[in-house]
Structure 1
């Protein structure tokens, strides 16, 4: 049997083969026509304007081509299935332009390649998706601040190694989350800065012998600079890796936060209650209020880690140059991850912003807990001038003695402290009942933690005010970038309309 002939008879004897079309070309085309078509058209316009300004085409020639670009039916293109008549979206669009302009339409491709065009389209697409995600992060950060504002005095237990550690406040916890997410913002911001550089003019990989202006095209498209080295422009993929790594860290951080919220919403903890719009019921157990919105956020965050990891794996051990591994097969994974990130931040924001916090239960739990015992040791150091390690030993023994007598922290007395001190240091300390009660009070514990970063209400008010300023700075930067792109797009479209009427 002639296997080769059998396969060719089934697949076809010319490009594209049936299975190649099914697995690669058609899916890539579908992504291109919906996601990359607008960036492609913008690149056509900017490149054409530059060619005229550099006297490489006449204004009359360019006007003819520009009218053809403007006449493209983008909706019709998006509705066109892949049929193999053209290798990809670029050649389809070029063909439609040349159908209206004749041979001169081919001059639009002067001094450029699909290599630099492709990377530029990916960068234009990625920067928009990064800005959308950054906007969603800012909204989430604002919700964290607003919620924290309402809980500066909400005393709760902090945990280390999943065990009761020391009293803090819900505001203190949320501010820690805010700071973590703020670092995510800065990483996304850095990824945007890296992304928003133009590869155009690199052509295939060595630029061109024609006197084009790379900087003018970058300006028209709203890029903030160039990927200067032309080989790096078409071969570098770290802008993708930077975004993927940032996504990974962000998803991981959100997942850890959600894990706490899920634990605290259990009946055993009874610390928080997820609002009705974000819970679901059981089909058989009438009492259930399942906070599945948080479960979905956790699982989707894990999914996002996997999808962004796929981006990095697809880059791994690829040649440093123009290669399909960084293109049509990879890009949708990054786009999906960014969309997921934007959605998760929005959903988590509305869940957090509508939480009911059981302040009374949290405070009572803190009062009964021995999480304040560090302050008893500190009080002995301050009031009785004994070394901390001795004070620590006394405090530790107080906990053991109290537990053996089934006492909670609120029931610790000065007599119990003296009884333990006799055993540990050989004499009573004669500490007053008022000092012991104050040392064991979680509200007092929090109030005196006024050092920078501490949970004291006074310190939290300062910290929240600083973070409002930092968030405003982030929003100002975001607005500036958004406005820059809007202005660039408006300018490009105004020149396009003017030239189309020439």
Structure 2
């Protein structure tokens, strides 16, 4: 029988004669222990339980010992194990092992044989990473829903569109938001593919060269919610690509997201005045009482800027390291992984709140659309299609008409067919366009509705796209839910088998 109280001094190695120094404990080991205790412990315990079931299947641990080990593992939490330089070398894997061993009624000599911390840690890290990834995907679904809802409400609302920061064409908020939602859904789809690709179990890789017992790695993989084992032992412990894959995709998405925030910041400025947010999402100036600021948008843009930095952090942490298991790649290079996930989730929560509360100033947007000559593109098309003017000449004629109208102080809504005919005559052209067609070319609502190619501004086209997006969202949600259910089912089965 083993003493039920943990020893003051544990012999864990015959190679070195003492535990770690106080310096190593304080600066490296205890902080790492604390981090893993609060974020990796559930995954470590699941791995321990599955390996215990395998020891029993191999005939190395009795059913009675397996039940006792399972009971003791269930007692481990953030309060029951601590980093101790003498008792467990301030290492969480040793702490779990010592907690069980020192409390067993009878020794189980084969328990913990033929295994390594390397694949143990790699497995827990991927389980942690995939769980965090699913949480980010959940926030992306919330964000997508908010975008979709607002887009549906605003596809008929004319809005000025800009290219090169100049007035360009009439669009709608729904048109713009549907584009953003398209990016979100593509990101969810790619992250789902990354989830499937990284969801391979490294357990059984050992230190680097594999293990010696006849472990059923497929069974262990299934019980831990993976879809298959890693096919090569070295990859199982050397590869930390999963963090790069996730960070790379989130970095790309954050770049696109920052551009959207930049548009909102501009649209919320005094000069544009296209959008508004409720007071509870706004800020004030400490010196200028007339101001209503939107610092939440600046916070979002500033926050997501870190995502690309985290990707570079992970890449630099792994770059030029040996392709094997190293604490440099497994721990130091991943020290900001959780921060990246938290930052992304926070930014998405904030942005979702913005979209849910965002209002577009309809009168202001229509006034700009009717003030600027947004119909130049449509007029050129009409001149070529109905007026018999070669298209490049139609472009020139359209531009000359607009310049003449501006010089004569005409608004786009006040058309002058004589000006068009005079400009055409100066170019040696005979134009058969009617005044009604000219008026239509610069009509705000017509400009929104006339563009009917796939993905164009036509409200009808946008509603078609939004319907497709809704179907895709449902399919993606079902796919993600199936993965969550599969993982939870595996975990429930582990607990059932341990009884």
- How many angstroms does 1:81 deviate by? 5.2
Determine the structure 1 residue equivalent to 2:438: 436
Count of matched residue positions in the alignment of Structure 1 and Structure 2: 482
Determine the structure 2 residue equivalent to 1:29: 33
Q: 1:64 aligns with which of 57, 63, 68?
A: 68
Where in structure 2 are the equivalents of 1:396-475 lying within 5 Å? 396-424=399-427, 426-475=428-477
**Counterparts of 1:398 and 1:14 in 2: how far apart (Å)?**
89
Aligned pair in 2 of structure 1 residues 19, 406: CA closer, same or farther (>3 Å)?
Answer: farther
**Counterparts of 2:294 and 2:454 in 1: how far apart (Å)?**
35
Where in structure 2 are the equivalents of 1:140-179 lying within 5 Å? 140-179=143-182
Q: If each structure's helix is expressed as a fraction of its own residues, which one has the higher value? A: 1
Where in structure 2 are the equivalents of 1:84-99 lying within 5 Å? 85-87=87-89, 88-99=91-102
8 A Cα contact 1:265 1:271, kept in partner = yes
8 A Cα contact 1:98 1:106, kept in partner = no
SS in 2 for 1:107: coil
**Counterparts of 1:89 and 1:423 in 2: how far apart (Å)?**
86
Where in structure 2 are the equivalents of 1:252-263 lying within 5 Å? 252-263=255-266
1:408-434 per-position Cα deviation (integer Å, ceiling 9, x unaligned) = 32233211111111112x144242211
Aligned pair in 2 of structure 1 residues 388, 427: CA closer, same or farther (>3 Å)?
Answer: closer
1:97-122 per-position Cα deviation (integer Å, ceiling 9, x unaligned) = 11012773563322321010010010
- How many angstroms does 1:42 deviate by? 0.6
Choose 252-261 or 18-27, whichever is displaced more.
18-27
SS in 2 for 1:183: helix
Q: 2:292 aligns with which of 289, 294, 306?
A: 289
Determine the structure 2 residue equivalent to 1:368: 371
Q: 2:386 aligns with which of 383, 386, 403?
A: 383
Determine the structure 1 residue equivalent to 2:12: none
- How many angstroms does 1:403 deviate by? 2.8
Matched, 1:132 2:135: yes
Determine the structure 2 residue equivalent to 1:272: 275
**Counterparts of 1:264 and 1:319 in 2: how far apart (Å)?**
49
Matched, 1:338 2:325: no
- How many angstroms does 1:495 deviate by? 2.0
Matched, 1:356 2:335: no
- How many angstroms does 1:83 deviate by? 4.7
8 A Cα contact 1:164 1:371, kept in partner = yes
Determine the structure 1 residue equivalent to 2:43: 39
Q: 1:75 aligns with which of 73, 78, 84?
A: 78
Structure 2 gap segments, 5+ residues each:
1-16
- How many angstroms does 1:84 deviate by? 5.5
SS in 2 for 1:460: helix
Determine the structure 2 residue equivalent to 1:10: none
Determine the structure 1 residue equivalent to 2:490: 488
Determine the structure 1 residue equivalent to 2:397: 394
8 A Cα contact 1:126 1:195, kept in partner = no
SS in 1 for 2:235: helix
SS in 2 for 1:76: coil
**Counterparts of 1:173 and 1:415 in 2: how far apart (Å)?**
37
TM-score of the pair, normalised by structure 2: 0.93
1:303-362 per-position Cα deviation (integer Å, ceiling 9, x unaligned) = 222223211221112211111122222323111111111121121011111111111211
Matched, 1:197 2:206: no
8 A Cα contact 1:111 1:207, kept in partner = no
Determine the structure 2 residue equivalent to 1:300: 303
Q: What is the aligned-residue RMSD (CA, Å)? A: 1.8
8 A Cα contact 1:235 1:320, kept in partner = yes
8 A Cα contact 1:28 1:329, kept in partner = no
1:387-425 per-position Cα deviation (integer Å, ceiling 9, x unaligned) = 11110110111222223334332233211111111112x
TM-score of the pair, normalised by structure 1: 0.92
